[in-house]
Structure 1
């Protein structure tokens, strides 16, 4: 693929991410994406990505390796006696750092929030995304630090935290764009680390009663 074609492909991805973030996945047509990208070729999505499903998969995976690599670096630097807060930091900071590095305005948090919010998209993606092995390993490691919390509850609480963090980041991203907030993603990240550590470590009053969730990939 030539340099011009690579640039056209990235422009389409950027246009799609912005439109999906603002208007929702199902409300945006392929034609609208191509027009927003500034191309008169309304078949550009098919040419570059094959179909809309593949466009979504590529958008979801576009920066996952960058975030995963940063997470692996933090995990490698953990002390042997790492506590719950240290492990939570490895889960959250790589994604927050990525959002902080994005040019303004950014759309990524809102795009991921839209992806998680639309059941039809989850059905389309099916098993094309796998759970992050690094996050799975961190959750497993946390279970040994949370002996007072049943493993099923740790996993359930972890499944609650992912969409919570995603939704709050989506709202924060929008407020930064509108000028309501000065961007301070570092503060956001450490707020989440403290809050999530407290939630995971909280006492369990009914050990046999907890929410269970279907297996879903972590989008962070």
Structure 2
């Protein structure tokens, strides 16, 4: 693929991510994406990606290699007795650091937050996430570190982490867009502390609230 084609593809991805983040996945047509990208070729998405589903998969797969490398390095530095907070740092910090590296305004957090509302797209996100053996291993180690709690409660609390993390990041990204200092490092450690406290909190009722199964939250 030539440089011109690479640039055209990247422009389409940037335009789609912004529009999806602003207006939602289902509210944005392929034609609107191409127009926002500044091309008069309304079949550009089909030409560069093969179709809308492939465009969405390309968007979801963006920057994964970079985050996987960072997560692998963090896991390699863990001690054998790593606690819940250490494990959560490996899980969350690569995502936070990626958001911090993006130019302002960025749309990534808000786009991924929107993805969760579309079941067919969320399934693709789940596939990308669960196919990552480093993430799978971190989840297993977290479950082992929380073995004093009922497994159903642990699973339910893990389901809360997804919308909580993405919601906080999407809101902060919007505030940065409006002029708030980025401060992504602070957001990351706030989320690590809050998540560790929530996951390890004592169970005070035998029928503790459990969420319905959902998709993983992390890319």
Q: TM-score, normalised by structure 1?
A: 0.92
Q: Which residue of 1 aligns with 2:176?
A: 176
Q: Which residue of 2 aligns with 1:112?
A: 112
- TM-aligned CA deviation for residue 126 of structure 1: 8.6
Q: Which residue of 1 aligns with 2:217?
A: 218
Q: Which residue of 1 aligns with 2:152?
A: 152
Task: Map 1:91-130 onto structure 2 (within 5 A).
Answer: 91-119=91-119, 121-122=121-122, 125=124, 128-130=127-129
Q: Which residue of 2 aligns with 1:70?
A: 70
- TM-aligned CA deviation for residue 209 of structure 1: 4.5
Q: Which residue of 2 aligns with 1:80?
A: 80
Q: Work out whether 1:24 is the aligned partner of 2:21.
A: no
**Which moves more between the two structures, 148-157 or 204-213?**
204-213
Q: Which residue of 1 aligns with 2:8?
A: 8
Q: Which runs of 5+ in 2 are unaligned?
A: none
Q: Which runs of 5+ in 1 are unaligned?
A: none
Aligned-partner Cα distance in 2 for 1:153–1:87: 19
Q: TM-score, normalised by structure 2?
A: 0.92
Q: Following superposition, which runs of at least 4 residues in structure 1 exceed 3 angstroms of deviation?
A: 119-123, 125-130, 206-210, 217-220
Aligned-partner Cα distance in 1 for 2:80–2:91: 17
Aligned length: 218
Over residues 26-84 of structure 1, what are the superposed CA-to-partner deviations in whole Å (9 max), with x where a residue is unaligned? 11111111111111111100100111011001100111221121111100100111111
Distance 1:85 1:217, change over 3 A: closer
SS in 1 for 2:128: coil
Q: Work out whether 1:206 is the aligned partner of 2:202.
A: no
Aligned-partner Cα distance in 2 for 1:206–1:64: 39
Q: Which residue of 2 aligns with 1:133?
A: 133
- TM-aligned CA deviation for residue 208 of structure 1: 5.7
